Chain A
Amino acid sequence: MIYKKLPQWFLLILPAIIILAAVILIPLLFSLYSSFTSYRLTRPDTLFNWIGTFNYEKAVKSGVFWAAFGRTILFLTIALNLEMFLGLGLALLVSRVTRGQRMLRTIMMFPMMFSPVLVGFQFKFIFNDNVGLVNNALQSLGLSNSAIPWLVDEKLAMFSIIFAEVWMSTSVFAILILAGLFSIPQDPQEAAKVDGCTPWQSFRHITLPFIMPFIFIAMAIRSLDVARAYDIVQVMTNGGPARRTEILWTLIGRTGYVDAKMGYANAMGYVSIFLAIFFTIYFFKKLNAARVELGMAR
């Protein structure tokens, strides 16, 4: 019997290894392999047509790809910073509330409970240029007499998407920062008051360093989320019109499934992953530095 020769520890972790290999390792290797072929979903035999790094060269030289890449970074930067500042403000306000705080915290989490697809539909309706709430309101109030093309104009469409994203995810920052605010010891804050700090100085010199680790944890998590943003954009604009709101994953999704060029899509996917990895490493470094600053890590 063969299994008798296998060491016991290996037998015990074997089920986990098999499952992980089946659902993660094999698809990963398969997609990596296919990115070196001209694999098209419509012609399965192309899976064995090895074309070397052609897909990668094509992606790197493609203006469309880099435009989507740049737009993703822009989207990520603006959305994350807005969410951070709004979330910080929200957390600071909620932490001051003494009555009904628990209920406020729960209400604050409502946007997180919706599926991004639904949020996309909701804002697609709100920003619709003919029947949307925003235009309707602007016109009824007499602030505008034309239909503003919220989801058609390049800048306005980007704004609308960021607005939806911020609406949905600010509370992630707010909740994490609130947790940070609750974990701050009282004593240093009181010491700062006695030491002569104004409320702003207390915040700047005492509170902020204490909640920095929490901000960076939120940033790391959210940067991964936003870097793979797909659903909201897909629903609201489908990357259009004419690729004006095309971000990485709408481009990759379209290339892979609509155009059926899976090999090329996989190649773009692998390039894009570096973006996510870069942000993760960057924020974890920042997180660690902030923790060292507080003497929580060495």
Chain B
Amino acid sequence: MAQVILKNIVKNYGKLEVVHSINLDVAHNEFVVLVGPSGCGKSTTLRMIAGLESISGGEIIIGDNVVNNLPPRDRNISMVFQNYALYPHMTVRENLGFSLKIAKRDQTEIDKSVDEASKILSLEDYMDRKPGALSGGQRQRVAMGRAIVRHPDVFLFDEPLSNLDAKLRAQMRVEIKKLHQKIQTTIIYVTHDQVEAMTLADRIVIMRDGNIEQQGSPTQVFENPINTFVATFIGSPPMNLLPGRVGKNMLEFSGGLILPIPIDFKDIVKPGQDIILGFRADHIMPVGHDLTIDGDSAMIEMSVGVSEPLGTETLLYTQLAGQEILAKMLRPRIVQDGETLTFNLDLGQCNLFDAVTQRNLR
């Protein structure tokens, strides 16, 4: 049983503060993904939990112990690094068993744990090879194997998939998810890839500039982003944003576009307020293409600039109120560049953000 608690964690490099007093509770057996653009402090945070970076302020608790001043070896954690960090002079077997050998466990126990890990990760055929003779995906599996043989309280993953090609990445993503189901341990996972965050996490923690912007389940942050940053960072393609102003019972946009106020926001907005309307490509589709709308909707005519056929769907790049926006077409047909289509916007799925604070008004 090990929960991880971060209390007001601060990290300074000299006078530069890179992590600003963040708080995070990770429950036992939870899969938490820290996600954010590069330089947001997510890796630094992970390395502080691992003990590879000193903590400038606050407390980190793993299990029931404050670990601020414990070296990594006394924290009972495992870490998987971006560049695998395998020991090049050891075979896969030796790499897997190294931590147990260092802990002076007896050989039969080491062999048992190593065999078990190699089975979980199907590494049996490579046990006597050195890392240099393995492919990227195999190396990554060895790195994960090395982490699981010790049965640590907490797993830390530092962008483990970013060195793999797209296909392998998708494959390893599934393997990591399976691994979590099998070994049932707390996992803290750092990535800049929002797809990994969405697919793996029980809870996503979105960071920017050393602060936590929002945390919640993947659907929560996807459907109710707390601000425009989260709205554009999470989800692919990013949420469309249209700056406008609240008029009398309607929203006004440049170019004379007028839309009704989404019903959830009717009582929140005041006339004259500057707002940003946010909606995903999934909620603006050409009429007649399978978009099911429960509540209000709006019909808009737009001409398609570029279309990207993806097979099951086609992405349509269009212009609305002076902004480039993305729409989606299910059951696609070939669309000519410049073709004008009528789109249906699902107002019930729209978000409104304050133009000044960029925060969701909901």
Contacts A195-B98, A197-B73, A295-B132: A190 and B85 contacting too (C-beta < 8 A)? yes
- Least Cβ–Cβ distance between A295 and chain B, in angstroms: 3
9-residue interface stretch from A12-20, A198-206, A267-275: A198-206
A sample of 9 inter-chain contacts (CB < 8 A) reads A187-B84, A188-B86, A188-B87, A194-B72, A195-B150, A295-B88, A295-B131, A295-B132, A295-B133
Asked whether, in the complex, the Cβ of A187 is within 8 Å of the Cβ of B85, the reply is yes
Report the Cα distance A190→B88, complex, angstroms: 14
Chain B residues with a Cβ closer than 8 Å to the other chain, count? 27
A192 cross-chain contacts in B, Cβ below 8 A = 87, 98
Q: Which A residues from 170 to 184 make CB contacts under 8 A with B?
A: none
Query: Does chain A have a CB within 8 A of B51?
Result: yes
Asked whether, in the complex, the Cβ of A196 is within 8 Å of the Cβ of B99, the reply is yes
Report the Cα distance A201→B98, complex, angstroms: 11
Contact of A194 among B52, B89, B132 (CB under 8 A): B52
Chain A residues with a Cβ closer than 8 Å to the other chain, count? 20
Please give the residue numbers on chain A whose beta carbons come within 8 Å of chain B beta carbons, in ascending order: 185, 187-188, 190-198, 201, 205-206, 209-210, 293-295
Given contacts A188-B85, A193-B52, 4 further A-B contacts (CB under 8 A): A188-B88, A190-B52, A194-B78, A196-B103
Asked whether, in the complex, the Cβ of B87 is within 8 Å of the Cβ of A193, the reply is no
Asked whether, in the complex, the Cβ of A191 is within 8 Å of the Cβ of B132, the reply is no
Q: Which residue of B lies closest to A197 (CB)?
A: B102
Query: Does chain A have a CB within 8 A of B50?
Result: yes
A188 cross-chain contacts in B, Cβ below 8 A = 85-88
A190 cross-chain contacts in B, Cβ below 8 A = 52, 79, 81, 85
7 smallest A-B Cβ distances: which pairs? A295-B132, A187-B85, A195-B99, A191-B85, A196-B73, A209-B89, A193-B72
B50 cross-chain contacts in A, Cβ below 8 A = 194
Asked whether, in the complex, the Cβ of B130 is within 8 Å of the Cβ of A195, the reply is no
Query: Does chain A have a CB within 8 A of B203?
Result: no
Report the Cα distance A293→B50, complex, angstroms: 29
Asked whether, in the complex, the Cβ of A196 is within 8 Å of the Cβ of B83, the reply is no
Report the Cα distance A197→B84, complex, angstroms: 18
Query: Does chain A have a CB within 8 A of B338?
Result: no
Query: Does chain A have a CB within 8 A of B71?
Result: yes
B150 cross-chain contacts in A, Cβ below 8 A = 195-196
Asked whether, in the complex, the Cβ of A201 is within 8 Å of the Cβ of B132, the reply is no
Report the Cα distance A294→B132, complex, angstroms: 8
Contacts A185-B83, A295-B132: A194 and B102 contacting too (C-beta < 8 A)? no
Report the Cα distance A294→B73, complex, angstroms: 25
Report the Cα distance A206→B102, complex, angstroms: 12
